[in-house]
Amino acid sequence: TCGGSGAMGGSASLIPRDLLGEYQELTFLSKQEILLAYKRFSELLPKEERENACSTRVPKSQILTLPELRANPFQHRICHVFSTSETRDDSMSFEDFLDMLSVFSDSATSDVKSHYAFRIFDFDDDGTLDRKDLEQLVNCLTGQGEESRLSSAEMEQLIQNILDESDIDKDGTINLSEFQHVVSRSPDFARCAAHQRVA
């Protein structure tokens, strides 16, 4: 794992060169972006834990303090999808954090972005987007305020429009390949989950 800061508490290059190289190969991030990510990640930890940032998990509550996530309507889903926590508490390791930054970076391919957008929109984690997922998706995008909430008739019409447009095999749900097909025709759709860069 990567080492701690020097005696003066500086955050010099704390990631061993071989690990840094590996992270560059496995992500869409540059060396500088990875080092900056490490600095940001370690700053989410209490001072006494920063030396072991590579082997420490940051709780979801801290991840949600990142300015880019604070404003993102899918903040909870993003933490859930990128967390590899065995206790399912949506905490993040440094590698989880890097994966998240990598997918949201401008260098990530549209296929990778749409794959993760699909997982973020799949609220019940069952591998398809059904009417319930689509309803939650619309609610996230329109906000929960009285003035912006759709009536049930409007919601029904919108979900039907989305299914008419996307559900190629007409089974009442959208699978990953159908979703990616729609996204390839209108790239803006995939960006709505990742509408702010998290880097």
pLDDT 10s digits, 70-99: 989 999 999 999 999 999 999 999 999 999
Count of domains observed in the chain: 2
Q: 69 and 34, same structural domain?
A: yes
Q: Are 115 and 123 in contact (CB under 8 A)?
A: no
Alpha-carbon dihedral angle through residues 82, 80, 65, 9, given to the nearest 10 degrees: -40
Q: What are the DSSP calls for 44-107, one per residue? A: TS-GGGGGGGGG-PBPHHHHTTSHHHHT-TTHHHHHHHH---TT-S--B-HHHHHHHHHHHSTT
Query: N- to C-terminal Cα distance for the chain?
Result: 22
Q: Of 82, 104, 126, which residue constitutes the final position of a domain?
A: 104
Q: Of 104, 136, 166, which residue constitutes the final position of a domain?
A: 104
Q: 129 and 189, same structural domain?
A: yes
Q: Residue 190 pLDDT > 60, yes or no? A: no
Those residues with Cβ within 8 angstroms of residue 84's Cβ, 6 or more apart along the chain or in another chain: 93, 95, 96
Confidence of residue 9 (pLDDT cuts 50, 70, 90): very low
Q: 97 and 117, same structural domain?
A: no
**What is the reported pLDDT for 191?**
58
Confidence of residue 39 (pLDDT cuts 50, 70, 90): very high
Q: 179 and 124, same structural domain?
A: yes
In-domain check, residue 159 = yes
The whole domain housing 133 covers: 110-195
Nearest Cα residue to 194 out of 116, 139, 83 = 116
Q: 126 and 93, same structural domain?
A: no
Q: 162 and 142, same structural domain?
A: yes
Q: 94 and 25, same structural domain?
A: yes
How far, in Å, CA of 5 to CA of 47, rounded?
A: 11
Length of the chain in terms of residues written? 199
Q: 23 and 93, same structural domain?
A: yes
pLDDT single digits (tens) 109-162: 999 999 999 999 999 999 999 999 999 999 998 876 777 788 899 999 999 999
